[in-house]
Amino acid sequence: MIATLNGVVSEKLADTVVLDVQGVGYGLYVSAEDHGRLVSGEPAKLYVYEHIREQQHDLFGFLKREDKNFFEQLLGVNGVGPKMALNMLSIGTNQEVRQAIAGGDVKFIQRANGVGKRVAERVVVELKDKVGLVGVDLESTGLLQAEDALLKDEAVEALVALGYTPQDAGKALQNVDPDLPTSQRVKLALRG
């Protein structure tokens, strides 16, 4: 089993990179985010997932261990193979994809190449409680409450219940007075 590879990025192709490890070139499928971060001629360490079938031996590489772990979580969903899981990781950052799953944003997941509504719904249902919702940064959205910065904002929760992602809810409430009653803040956010 190959767990990691350390080498120099010798080539960048459409959705793969070739990592030269002491004269041996390993072709690895990578997410769009990692593909953009890897630089030809520069050293890199990739965490590797091996997918072996009768006629094929594919390697999937990740710059961060948590991205590989998330990829493996996606693989645990019935009907999701390694290329589909990688396509899901390529529609946004790891955090954005996690937030979409935790927030039940099926349409966001469907943006991934080859992912239909049924698979996207299955991913949301099976992983919603496992991906760890990354909370909205209250300070950047102007929703920071003086008493307790960790208090959940009821207006954000209401907008999420209406189908917003937590991030979009925070943005919608950014210019709304946090001292107004929750119902009024939600109405103003919906108008804005």
Confidence tier at 85 by pLDDT (50, 70, 90): very high
Q: Which domains does the chain have, with CATH numbers?
A: 4-62 (2.40.50.140), 65-127 (1.10.150.20), 138-191 (1.10.8)
Question: Is there a contact between 108 and 92 (Cβ–Cβ < 8 Å)?
Answer: yes
Which position has the higher pLDDT, 163 or 80?
Answer: 80
- Can you give the pLDDT at residue 150? 26
With beta carbons less than 8 A apart as the criterion, state whether 106 and 124 touch.
Answer: yes
Q: Model confidence at 134, in pLDDT bands (50, 70, 90)?
A: very low
Which pLDDT belongs to residue 133?
53
pLDDT top residue among 156 and 116: 116
What's residue 43's pLDDT?
96
pTM of the model: 0.66
Q: What is the mean pLDDT of residues 138-162?
A: 53
Q: Is the pLDDT of residue 137 over 80?
A: no
CA distances, 121 to each of 29, 88, 98, 107 (Å): 25, 13, 14, 9
Q: What pLDDT shows up at residue 160?
A: 74
Residue 151 has pLDDT above 70, yes or no: no
Residue 113 CB neighbours (<10 A) = 12
